[in-house]
Amino acid sequence: MKKKAFLLGYFSIGGQVLILRELISSFNGDELLIGMALFGWLIAVAAGAFIGGLKKVAVKSGVLFVTGVILLPMTIIAVRFAPLALSGIAGEVIPLTQATIFSIILMMPVGIISGWLFPVINREGYRPSESIIRVYLYEGIGAFVGGLLLALLIGNVLSTFPISLFLGISVPVLRYVPLTKKGSALISVILILALFGIYLSGAAMDGYIDSIRYESYTVEKSFDTHYGHQTILSRGGDLYLVTDNAVESAFPDLERAENVFIPPLLFKPEAENILFIGRAEFGIMQLCDSFPGIKLTAIDPRRLLSYELNDIFTIFDNINRIDSDPVRFFRKGNLLNKYDIVILAIGEPDSYKTSRFLTPSFLSSLRVVMKDDGVLYIPAHYDTDRYILPEKRVLLSIIHSTLGRVFRHIVLWPGETTGIFASDDSAILTLSPETLMSRANNMKYNPLYLTDYQIQNRLNDIKTARLTEVIDSGFQINSIIKPVLPHYQALYRSRAHGYDTTIIPFILKGSHWLWIIPVLIVLFATTTLLKASRRRTFSLFLYFTAGLVSLTLELLSFYLYQSQAGTLYSELSALIGAFMLGLAAGTYYTARFDRDNMEYPALLLLLTAALLFASTYDTVDSGALLLYHGLFLFTVAAATGSLFTAATRRYYFGRSGANRGIGYAMDLIGSSAGALITMTILLPLIGVAWIIYSSIALVTVALAGALISS
């Protein structure tokens, strides 16, 4: 039983992480899609646990394991080609409603197998409470080991599809080879040889799959980084950088390069040091080389992408590339240079990972590295040359208001790409259009697309007045504590895609229906307390609370760590490891004590952790962030494991014939609710603090109900 439970956790975390990562890559997803896909996975696992717990359904665990490891790579292939089935055009952004439906469907096969295995494995034990607790314990240990392994492999050694093949080999090997001395040696040899063989062929596998996806292009490079899947394509002498199935950059694209690099130089023609946040290889560094005396520093975290691009581009001497996350780079504080110009080329703020660059905290760190008369330039992907849509007005006003918290003067240029300039020196940004046109004509480089005529056309009185009217109406700001930009970006995008136009505004504008969530939770708790066997039935609410609160706090911890430390993926192994280790520790500790009412200390520990988190999450020093979040996740998981064990004793006491998957399924339903509402709905609507307070309220209700039902 122990080995099978360990393999359940190992396989389950592998299936969840690999499919979820592939969905984000193939559908160019953000946190909205992540929440929906994770919801689909957890619901599928819950359904599998319930089905497997039925006495009439008798399937051997070996059959389920083999079925699961076959389905996993097949699912990843299906995910990679799903966008082509929906649009038929490579790189086309799929509407969120379609992407969500497909994500939930594609999560189901492996998810159902994962959930099914739980009751099948614990049937080997006689007493339900003991077997369920033991399987839950060793499943947590297996997930801990699998999470660490995945974090080490993904983006460092292999991409998702080759890892799924390695998982497919390792699970049956670990399942059927005995753990004797000879067996352990045989397992080691097989797994090392398998990993080495897959490593040698992994790049070819990815390249072959991408050559089918992008059949009209030549695949130059195909690989994974910590941040997603990268493909470099070529056709007719042009190069394209495709990130997560969407074109990030093209080369040559002189028009884009001029509109990104030259506008701030018109305000500061004497600039010598320019900081560029984004990829500079696709046109920016080549254009910079046409301006003698300018040194360009480019920051982007994808070290492996820099390495691969070295084989394609000649890196000029005046270019300094820094492979670091911008937030982390600036939090270090050891910065020697002051920059005349900072260009923030981050694309659309459609995710929390991107929108964190447009917050007062990050903009303040940029202000520190700028000279007193320095200029910040943001090329925003919004067309304001003609009519400005209401959703676009809100986005621009939020960006303007957020910049206003840090900089004294802000100027916007209308156009197909809206230019946003910020500085503390009023004289810099109040130049007349005639002066800017004159400077464009007198540069040593002769622009082809940003000519004096185009500048005059962009800055005519009607267009600038219309844009000024838009930004004067702004009052909201985008912050780490309450990130609203991805929320409004989703509303803006919804206009272009069928059912999105109805569904997205209903979900994200629907703060009026949020009261339904607490009402349903209180109704659920009350219903379980009104039953004659309320001690047993209230256990279902305890399961639900354990899943909902733990996943909510875990997702918030991941979000805050990424926002404050600047990165998440490289430390994700440590954070997941801390959580899974805490889950196993809490389960083990509580299982050793044969006492009733162990739910009380578990709930009190969870309540204490949430209260401390609410009062300290925004006061942690940057050097202690990993330790802080690791200890927090360990504590939350220990309380969750303890609460699961206590609820299991309550529910299954004296009921040897009960469905052994129903408690596990209820825990997963709570987790799926947390995945669905926490990051996708509640975070932009009520913010970090109120989500934590809501979790505290839920734990308090669970504690009161436990006392009443005891």
**Residue 351: CATH number of its domain:** 3.40.50.150
Q: What is the pLDDT of residue 640?
A: 92
Counting residues of the chain whose pLDDT is more than 90, the rounded percentage is 18
Are 170 and 263 in a shared domain?
Answer: no
Are 489 and 519 in a shared domain?
Answer: no
Are 451 and 533 in a shared domain?
Answer: no
Residue 125 in this model has a pLDDT that exceeds 60 = no
662 is a domain residue: yes
**Which residues make beta-bridge pairs with 242?**
231, 247
* Range(s) of the domain holding residue 522: 510-710
Instruction: Find out whether 485 and 478 touch, Cβ atoms under 8 Å.
Output: yes
Are 532 and 482 in a shared domain?
Answer: no
Q: What is the pLDDT of residue 50?
A: 79
The DSSP symbol for 486 reads H
Are 210 and 261 in a shared domain?
Answer: no
231 is a domain residue: no
Are 263 and 401 in a shared domain?
Answer: yes
Are 432 and 569 in a shared domain?
Answer: no
Is pLDDT larger for residue 420 or for residue 591?
Answer: 420
What is the overall mean pLDDT for the chain? 84
Whole-angstrom distance, CA of residue 366 vs CA of residue 357: 10
Q: What is the DSSP string of 144-169?
A: HHHHHHHHHHBTTTB-HHHHHHHHHH
Are 449 and 522 in a shared domain?
Answer: no
Whole-angstrom distance, CA of residue 676 vs CA of residue 32: 9
What CATH number corresponds to the domain at position 673?
A: 1.20.1250
Are 268 and 321 in a shared domain?
Answer: yes
143 is a domain residue: no
133 is a domain residue: no
Residue 411 in this model has a pLDDT that exceeds 60 = yes
Residue found under tokens 């109406």 = 473
**Which residues make beta-bridge pairs with 233?**
219, 240
Quick one: pLDDT band at residue 391, thresholds 50, 70, 90? Answer: confident
Residue 604 in this model has a pLDDT that exceeds 90 = yes
Quick one: pLDDT band at residue 57, thresholds 50, 70, 90? Answer: low
Both tokens of 223, joined, read 């690989």
Are 457 and 573 in a shared domain?
Answer: no
Query: Domain boundary residue among 469, 494, 519?
Result: 494
Q: What is the pLDDT of residue 451?
A: 82
Q: In what order do the strands lie in the sheet with 228-235?
A: 218-225, 228-235, 238-243, 246-251
Question: Which segment of 28-37, 106-115, 209-218 scores lowest on mean pLDDT?
Answer: 28-37
Q: What is the pLDDT of residue 492?
A: 81
Residues 6+ apart with CB under 8 A from 520: none
211 is a domain residue: yes
611 is a domain residue: yes
pLDDT in tens, 329-378: 887 655 667 899 999 998 888 888 888 899 998 999 899 889 888 999 99
The domain total for the chain is 3
Is pLDDT larger for residue 689 or for residue 651?
Answer: 689
Q: What is the pLDDT of residue 341?
A: 93
Q: What is the pLDDT of residue 261?
A: 92
Rounded mean pLDDT, 654-681: 75
Entry pTM: 0.85
580 is a domain residue: yes
Are 523 and 416 in a shared domain?
Answer: no
Residue found under tokens 């300094």 = 320
Are 373 and 286 in a shared domain?
Answer: yes
Rounded mean pLDDT, 419-444: 86
Q: What is the pLDDT of residue 299?
A: 93
Residue 472 in this model has a pLDDT that exceeds 80 = no
CA 684: distance to chain centroid? 15
Whole-angstrom distance, CA of residue 129 vs CA of residue 605: 22
Residue 660 in this model has a pLDDT that exceeds 60 = no
Query: Domain boundary residue among 215, 238, 262?
Result: 215
Instruction: Find out whether 423 and 374 touch, Cβ atoms under 8 Å.
Output: yes
Rounded mean pLDDT, 463-482: 80
136 is a domain residue: no
